Amino acid sequence: MALFLKAAEFTQLCQQGQMEPSSNQTGLDHATLLPKSLGQGTYRQLHLRGGLTIEIREGVLEQTLRIEQIHEPIFPLTSKFFLSGSARVETPGIRGIQPDYIERKGFNYLYHLPDLEEIEEWHGGEVIHLVMIYANTDYFHFLRDDPALPNPLRSIFQGTKSQQRFHQSLGPISPNMEQLLQQLVDCPYTGATQALYVESKALELLTLQLETWKQQYLQAPTLRKDDIERLHHARDLLIQQSENPPLLIELAHQVGLNDRKLKQGFRQLFGTTVFGYLQDYRLGQAKQLLADASLSIAAVAMSVGYRNPEAFSTAFRRKFSVSPKAYQLNIRG
């Protein structure tokens, strides 16, 4: 069973955790130990000039944790890189934002989500390692007139639509991003030199993300309102028939799209392929079922549509960095 906390309650618990000594004398680097009641791990923050902040999260939760977040009307542009682990996010009733989506290992995201409520779900027993970069939107004032930027970004940089919301999946973490992330995490410097070094790496990462989105934006076909409705219908059918899903061409026919538009639209709207979405959903369901002591690994695999338990175990380990058996033992205590 998942533990539900409001963001303020989670923060209060973390503040009760032991504070690690600062790695330097400038006050740039702060690390908080996750309290033992929640698991093992650290939250490390580096506060830089201009409101730029880097956060590195590492650890394993004792049990699945659902956190209710209430975002302020003024919200930073947020960059997220999942090196390990995943998170489910529920944002119902917000126009232009998926009501339920998964951020996963090996992918990177860019978002601006002011003035809304959401629930983040972090799975117990799963190794979590992610890097986040927060930047005030006016930090990028010098980019406001770049015509090649996607409209949502230009709007918030110009300040014309400060409440503009978006959550953009930018695909897999590239080798260049991976190298920069490793350099940022393993920064060899302290003090002012550390600040200069990590700021440069953060800006390089943001540059790669902006360039990736620009290319996606230029290449992506425009989705009409009825296309979006058909794609949502396709997603719902995929979930309903997850144990015995239709072929891609059959799913496209059921919602009135051709298979090319279905594939392109699915990636554009949901940030992953049709198969990737189905696999994420199946494995999320499997996590919940593994908490049932009466179910074997093979039974869980079969119930979520995997006829081969070995294929299920491989997919589960690849996504959650832990085997189904180890996860099952951990969650049952």
Q: For 168-178, how does the pLDDT look when each residue is reduced to its tens digit (9 = 90+)? A: 989 899 999 99
**Model-level pTM?**
0.70
Q: Distance (Å, rounded) from C-alpha 232 to C-alpha 255?
A: 9
Q: Residue 157: which of 145, 167, 166 has the closest Cα?
A: 145
Sites in the chain below the pLDDT cut of 70? 1, 17-29, 161-162, 217-222, 331-333
**Amino acid occupying residue 8:** A
The angle at the Cα of 266, spanning 219 to 307, to the nearest 5 degrees, equals 135
Identify the pLDDT of residue 155: 86
How many Å separate Cα 189 from the centre of its chain?
Answer: 29
Q: Residue 243: which of 282, 276, 272 has the closest Cα?
A: 282
**Start-end of H helices in 29-158:** 151-158
pLDDT tens profile 152-170: 888 898 887 667 899 998 9
Pairing label, strands 87-90, 100-103: antiparallel
